[in-house]
Structure 1
Amino acid sequence: MHQPAAALAQPLAPAPQRLDRSRFSPENRRRLSAPGMRTFLAIADLWGLDETQRLLVLGYPARSTFHRWARIAREHGSFTLDVDTLARISAVLGIHQALGVLHESEREGVAWLRRPHSATLFGGRPPLELVTSGTQDGLMAVRRFLDAARGGLSMEPNGADRDFTPYTDADLVIS
């Protein structure tokens, strides 16, 4: 049975993308683990996280495991974190970066993390409570919130934005 010409001219559905499993290979995870842990430790210091909060952010590894990771990372040694821990560290890096974009100083970004927030996501509690809840979902929710804020949603304007005067038609130069 022949198909009508119109049916033949329609584009095929895109083939499902194959997951690039090399991102999760032990070699790639080993390459990222020590630098990721060093960066995490620096951010945790900046944010003033205590040991329990650090463990919760990382998925609650054993204390001895955490201290071994930290020691090896500081010595620029080699070790391999699992995918979950690396994803958590990636979320922390994204949160830190977004705070740097949204706030004029690191101190202001840390203050935002620590003070109660009225957004529904936080329920009047500080965002840091969600970051240190022990769940990857909590970390990712804060990261998504801040990414949305970077796009202009959900945040009070910072000092530079507060003083911004909108452009008018007279400001446009058409050449």
Structure 2
Amino acid sequence: MVNVLFVCLGNICRSPMAEAMFRDLVKREGLDDRITIDSAGTGDWHIGHQPHQGTRDLLDRKEISYEGMKARQMVTEDYDTYQYIIAMDTSNIENMKQWQEGNTEAYVGRLLDLVPDVQNKDVPDPYFTGNFDEVYDLVNKGCQALLQKIKTEQGL
């Protein structure tokens, strides 16, 4: 089983959007029995909350399920559980280091590091910008690239 974790600041906008979109993509590819997906935040402000209304509205329009998703904060054990830990921006990468003990074998990187034709590798936070459509487009590109990376590396 391949385990993927998406990480952003509060786990209510970008990372749950990526989680829901990646789950949908993985299911459409027939790999949902081989890949598990979760998301977490580096902050603790929204623990237990549903995704942001803007994320829910967008996912509803795209007919992508976010059922049962609740925000949680990243924990040290995530480095042992997940083979791919995917951050939304550079500050998330920096914040995640507080939970990393020793060396990890997980791939840790930004989602847009996998998309060569995108100049800015940080997914903007729609909590502050309000631009959920832009984030959807970027996350979609990143999820496509991530799935290709996983399929190649894991022989799926």
TM-score (norm 1): 0.28
Structure with the bigger RCO (C-alpha within 8 Å, sep 6+) is: 2
Higher helix share: 1
Task: Work out which of the two has the higher radius of gyration on C-alpha atoms and give 1 or 2.
Answer: 1
